[in-house]
Amino acid sequence: MPPRQEHHQRPRIRTLNDPPRLGEAGPPRLGEAGPPSRGHSDRHPPRRSFGETGAFRQNTHQAPRHSAASDRKFRKEARGHAKALKRDTLYYVPLGGLEEVGRNCSFFEYNDEIVIIDMGIQFPEEETPGVDWIIPNTSYLEKKKKNIRALLITHGHYDHFGAIPYVLERLGNPPIYGTRLIREIIKKRLSEMPNVPKMRFIEIKSRDKVKLSENFTAEFFGVSHTVPDTTGVALHTPAGIMVHFADFRLDYDQEDTVQNLQEFERLSNLGVHTLFLDSTNADFSGHSVSERIVEANLEASFREAKGRIILSTFSSMITRMAEIVKIAEKLGRKVVINGRSMKDNLEIARNLGYIKYKPGTLIQVEEINKYKDDKILILSTGAQGQENSGLMRIANSEHKHIHIKLGDTVMFSSSVIPGNERGVQTLKDNFTRQGAIVITNNDLDIHSSGHAPGDDLAMVAKICKPKFIIPIHGFYFKRAANIQNMKQIGIGKERIVLMDNGQVAELGKNSVAITDKTVDAFYVMVDGLGIGDVQEVVLRDRRMLSQDGIFVVIAAVDSKTGQVKGSPDIISRGFIYLKESHELLAHTRHLVKRVVEESTNKMHPINYTHVRDNVRERLGSFLFQKTNRRPMVLPVIIEV
């Protein structure tokens, strides 16, 4: 077996369903002026707006804006007066993905024509409580929606297409171009969203060449990734050919990699102006771990396991899921799918022929006890320790049908995404306490990143021979690592252009220059009810308080036994009159006590965040059932 290769982790997947805390403030609303950013002085005044729509602004900060990154995500700056864009000039603008992992979106503009590449989401951070998703700021594009000629989607991962339901109508429902797998995944996502216009989808295949408008022609080429049907885009423009690689890796054991390299060479012969290169893994040396090595290690581990196997990976890793189901079938294990998103993707992939298995291979979770333990494999979501995920419910002994037994083997076919270390460690601890054997990617190569490391990036650049390189996808540190990667093949740093979200690059026939203009690229939040920023969430809380009030329940919990001590206290404001609701309060206290004790049963140490989530969800449903009102429910769990 070759030596283990360094490989990066996928974007942090973490959903925060907690409602925002009472009294929390957020950044300024869309359309409002906010406080100036830190570091302003007479020498560096606040930016001025640019363009007759007010969406472009002058950029007086040419250096990377490192220390103010947190403020920059949210701030809204004052607008002024300035001139319009130059005609007959190609512009490139990243709206997301360059200062984070996720929210991938960028566009090219030439005269009255705009082509967008990807429209992804970013998962919420600790500093964005109560937020479901973070999406690209499309305010500039909305003002020019009549000019949008195409939205090109490179592949079926949420960080590249997940924002479509939230912005499709705002952008004038432009035609969407992508492969058939992308079409089905987006269609499934749109079917879950109310009041979304029917998408205009144009299906493409690798090597298709499509004229999008008078000045833009897109040529699609296949790349290897963790999801099938991933494509890069060679965009033919008046300034030259812009090659956007999307997410990719080079797996030298797969036949399609050889074909992809030949396609890269063909593009090189046409002449590549700028290479837009995935930098998620740029700060690691070496080459990608082959998926064949991962498959062999998974099979060896499956053969050694004496009891049930519980394996968790990302629900979007269709190629990996296909390998796992194939091995399980080969070894005579029945497969149980634990997680709705994984079930949906598996069904789509099977209907399109990307995953094949015999009838009877997949069974329902209710049938799990009909088979011997060594004949069961459970494929689950939740490898990043997400609250309320399928794997977390198993670890906390809260799953209705799956409970850990001595001899179970729990496998994490994924890397730990930065920021999720604590949640994943809690998972591993809980599984180990209950007698399971835990295997991670640190023990054995049972996961391979979908993003090319530094040496592979250098090889692609050497084949494509671009005039310029604009690193995309990832934090500034990762993108800057390409300066060193390209040095080994003779590409100097003067040909590598490092941009930030919202900056505007002017692309001439023999030049790339970052202009003094910027586009709004601050965070736009989705909280489940609407699209806006954090202040919209605060306004939602105020409306909720004014309409249905607040309901606070306080329970003291024994930290050793998990039992509720005494009777929970209740505080209600604007919801019910306590003195006239004795029966409701009695039922409420009984419910809270039962939910807390069910949630803490066999949980050591107690995860109080998880307990609060359960109380909030169950109590909210109970109160709505009894009163047809939805107060803000705030459970307070006191450890004693």
What pLDDT, on the 0 to 100 scale, is given for residue 525?
82
Q: Based on the residue annotation, tell me whether 273 is a catalytic residue of this protein.
A: no
Query: What angle, 0 to 180 degrees and rounded to 10, lies between the N-to-C axes of helices 582-600 and 608-627?
Result: 150
DSSP 8-state code for residue 381? S
- Point out the catalytic residue in the list 251, 278, 408, 533: 278
What pLDDT, on the 0 to 100 scale, is given for residue 42?
33
pLDDT tens digits along 358-403: 999 999 999 999 999 999 999 998 887 777 788 888 888 888 888 9
CA distance 111 to 116: 14
What does residue 2 show for φ and ψ, rounded to 5 degrees? -65, 160
37 is in an annotated binding site: no
What pLDDT, on the 0 to 100 scale, is given for residue 419?
62
What pLDDT, on the 0 to 100 scale, is given for residue 543?
63
Q: Based on the residue annotation, tell me whether 569 is a catalytic residue of this protein.
A: no
What pLDDT, on the 0 to 100 scale, is given for residue 40?
34
403 is in an annotated binding site: no
Count how many Cα atoms sit within 13 Å of the Cα of residue 25 in the half-sphere of its side chain.
4
CA-derived radius of gyration, the chain: 26
What pLDDT, on the 0 to 100 scale, is given for residue 60?
35
Give which of 98, 490, 474, 443 is closest to 300, Cα–Cα: 443
Task: Please provide the DSSP assignment of 409-456 as one string.
Answer: EEEE-SPPPTT-HHHHHHHHHHHHHTT-EEE-TTTS-----SS--HHH
What pLDDT, on the 0 to 100 scale, is given for residue 102?
86
CA distance 438 to 444: 11
Residue 565 corresponds to which tokens in the numbers above? 């001590």
Residue 214 corresponds to which tokens in the numbers above? 């008078």
Count how many Cα atoms sit within 13 Å of the Cα of residue 142 in the half-sphere of its side chain.
12
229 is in an annotated binding site: no
374 is in an annotated binding site: no
Decide: 342 and 318 in contact? Cβ < 8 Å.
Answer: no
Give which of 571, 617, 562 is closest to 593, Cα–Cα: 562
3-state secondary structure of 556: strand
Decide: 362 and 326 in contact? Cβ < 8 Å.
Answer: no
Is the whole-model pTM more than 0.75? no
132 is in an annotated binding site: yes
451 is in an annotated binding site: yes
Distances (CA, A) of 404 to 80, 213, 342, 383, 447: 62, 57, 21, 16, 23
What pLDDT, on the 0 to 100 scale, is given for residue 50?
33
Distances (CA, A) of 323 to 111, 229, 299, 327, 354: 47, 17, 9, 6, 11
Domains of the chain: 87-286+450-526 (3.60.15.10), 291-439 (3.40.50.10710), 549-639 (3.10.20.580)
Q: Which residues does the chain have with pLDDT short of 50?
A: 1-72, 74-83, 539
- Point out the catalytic residue in the list 236, 244, 273, 451: 451
558 is in an annotated binding site: no
